[in-house]
Structure 1
Amino acid sequence: MSQSVDRALSILPLLARGPADLGAVADELGVHKSTALRLLRTLHEHGLVHRQRDQRYRLGARLFTLAQEAVENLDVRDVAHPHLVALNESCGHTVHLAVYEEREVLYIDKVESRYPVRMYSRIGKPVPITVAAVAKLLLADLPEPERRALAERLDYPLYTSRSTPDAAAFLRELATVREQGWATDLGGHEESINCVGAPVKGPDGRVVAAMSVSAPNVVVTAEELLGLLPHVRRTADAVSREYAGTTPSKEATA
C-alpha cells in the first residue's frame, strides 16, 4: 500500500472518534499540516470526510452510504458456505445455516452428513420455530418487546415430550440462550435428532444468521454432540469476523 493511501485511510478511524481539526489530524499522522490538508481535501472530494463551519473535519455521508450498500449486498450464505463445508468435513454431521425473515426462520444452506441417514430439512423450508436451535438463537437476539410479542403469538406444537410447551417456557429458554450465546435442540422436534448451534453476527453485533450441527442418536449421543459445541462456536465466530470484514476473506489470503 502506498504511503499516501495508508495515511489517508488512517484519518478515517481518527474522525470516527469525533470531529478533529487540521492540527489534530497532522499530529495523528505525524506529518506536516500541508500534507494532512492535501489528504483531507482528497477525502472531502470523494465525500468521505466533511469540513464543518468550525473548520473541523468529520466523517462524510458518502462513507455511511457505501457501508450501507456493502451490507445490503453482502450475502451471509456466500461468506458462510466454505466454513460450513469445513465444519462438516471435520465432524461428518449435517450442518445448517438459517435466517429470520417475515416472522419465519428459514434454512438458507445445508451441508449433508457423510453417513446414509438423511435429515428431512431442506433449503428454503421453515424451521420448527419453537424448538430448533437456530430459531432460538435468532429470536433470542430480538429486542425484548418484540421477543415477548412473538412468543405470545406462536403456537406450541408438542412434537415430542421435550418440545417447548408454552410462551413462558420459550421466553425463559430464549433468555438463557441470549445470556450463554449458544443453543440446543435435544430431541425437541424429533426424539432421535439432536442439534447444537451458535450465532453469526454482523458488524453491529446483532445476530444475522445462525448455524448448527445436527445428528441422530444412532450416530452420536447428545453428550458427544455437545462436545462439538466449541468447534461450532469457533466456526460461527470465524464467519462473523469475515462477514463483518474484520478478517481477510479466504480468497484474499490464498
Structure 2
Amino acid sequence: MSQTVDRALSILPLLAEGPADLGQVADRLGVHKSTALRLLRTLLEHGLVYRQSDQRYRLGARLFALAQEAMESLDIREIAHPHLVRLNQQCGHTVHLAVHEEDEVLYIDKVDSRYPVRMYSRIGRPVAVTVAAVAKVLLADLPEPERRAVAEKLDYPPYTPRSTPHASAFLDELAAVREQGWAADLGGHEESVNCVAAPVRGADGRVAAAMSVSAPNVVVTAEELLTLLPLVRSTANAISGEYSGRTPVEKATA
C-alpha cells in the first residue's frame, strides 16, 4: 500500500473517535499540516469526511452510505435465497435476484429451472440493462433526474426487434414500471426467452434488489409466464417484509 493511501486511510479511524482539527490530524499522522490538508481535501471530495463550521473534520455521510450499501448487499441474498428456492419449486422456472451497483445491474443469486432448457446467466455477471426486467425494476426507482441521466448515457443494442430502441422509449418504460410496480422482458434480449420481475424494498421503501422468473418459449409462452406475476410479486413482498424487518405483506402461494 502506498504511503499516501495509508495515511489517508489512517485518518478515518481517527475521526471515528470524534471530530478533529487540522493540527490534530497532522500530529496524529506525524506529517506537516500541508500534507494533512491535502489528504483531508481528497477525502472531503469523495464525501468520506465533512468539515464542520468550526473547521474541525468528522466522518462524512458518504462513508455511512457505503457501509449501509455493503451491509445490504451482503444480507439480502441470504434473506432472499429461501424464498427464491420456494418460488422455483412452485413454478419450475429460473429465478434470479439482482442489484444495482455503480453503473451495472448484476445477478447475485440464481436458482435454475427444473426443465432441460436452462438460462445462460451467471451470478456476478451484468445484465443487459436496456432490456432486462430486473434492470427496469431497479432503474425505475431512481429519482427522475438520475433516471434521465442513466438513460441518456446508455447504448441501445438491437438484440431483437423487441429491444428498447432509444433513451426516450426506455424512459417511457421506466415510468410505466414505476407506476405498475413490476417489469417484463418479452423477447427483448433473446426472442425465445421471456421474464417478469418485481422489486424487493428495504426499510426506507426504496428498491434494494429485483427478483425475476424467466423461461424460454419452448417451456412456457409469454402469456403463460405473465400469469405467474402475482406469485412473483407476492414472493418479492415476502422478501421485502423480512429484509426490512416488517411483517411480510403477503406470503407466496401457488
Once the two structures are superposed, residues 18-46 of structure 1 have per-residue CA deviations (whole angstroms, 9 ceiling, x without a partner) of: xxxxxxxxxxxxxxxxxxxxxxxxxxxxx
Counterpart position of 2:189 = 189
The AA in structure 1 aligned to 2:179 is: E
Report the Cα distance in structure 1 between the residues aligned to 2:67 and 2:217, rounded to whole angstroms.
44
Who is 1:159 aligned against?
A: 159
AA matched with 1:186: L
By how many angstroms is 1:247 displaced?
A: 3.0
- Paired residue secondary structure (1:98): strand
Give the equivalent residue in structure 2 for 1:100: 100
SS at match of 2:155: coil
Instruction: Give the drift of 1:73.
Output: 3.1
**Counterpart-to-counterpart distance in 2, 1:140 and 1:201:** 13
Where do 5+ consecutive residues of structure 1 fail to align?
1-67, 249-254
- State the AA in 2 paired with 1:78: E
After superposition, the CA RMSD in angstroms is: 1.7
1:5 aligned residue: none
**1:110 alignment partner in structure 2:** 110
Aligned to 1:139: 139
- Measured in 1, the distance between the counterparts of 2:177 and 2:219 equals 26
In the alignment, which residue of structure 2 is the partner of 1:202?
Answer: 202
For 1:73, the equivalent position in structure 2 comes to 71
Change (3 A) 1:174 1:71: closer
Name the TM-score, length of structure 1 as normaliser.
Answer: 0.69
How far apart are the structure 2 equivalents of 1:70 and 1:186? Answer: 34
Distance 1:79 1:128, change over 3 A: same
Aligned to 1:232: 232
Offset of 1:149 from its aligned partner? 0.5
Deviations 1:47-106 (A, max 9, x none): xxxxxxxxxxxxxxxxxxxxx978853411001000000000000000000000011000
- The DSSP-based 3-state class of the residue aligned with 2:147 is helix
- Residue segments in structure 2 that go unaligned for 5+ positions in a row: 1-65, 249-254
For 1:98 and 1:247, the matched residues in 2 are separated by 23
Runs of 4+ in 1 over 2 A off after TM superposition: 68-74
Secondary structure, counterpart of 2:89 in structure 1? helix
What per-residue deviation string (whole Å, max 9, x for no partner) do you get for residues 197-216 of structure 1? 10000000000000000000
Correspondence list, 1:1-254, <5 A: 73-74=71-72, 75-247=75-247
Q: In 1, distance between residues paired with 2:67 and 2:157? A: 40
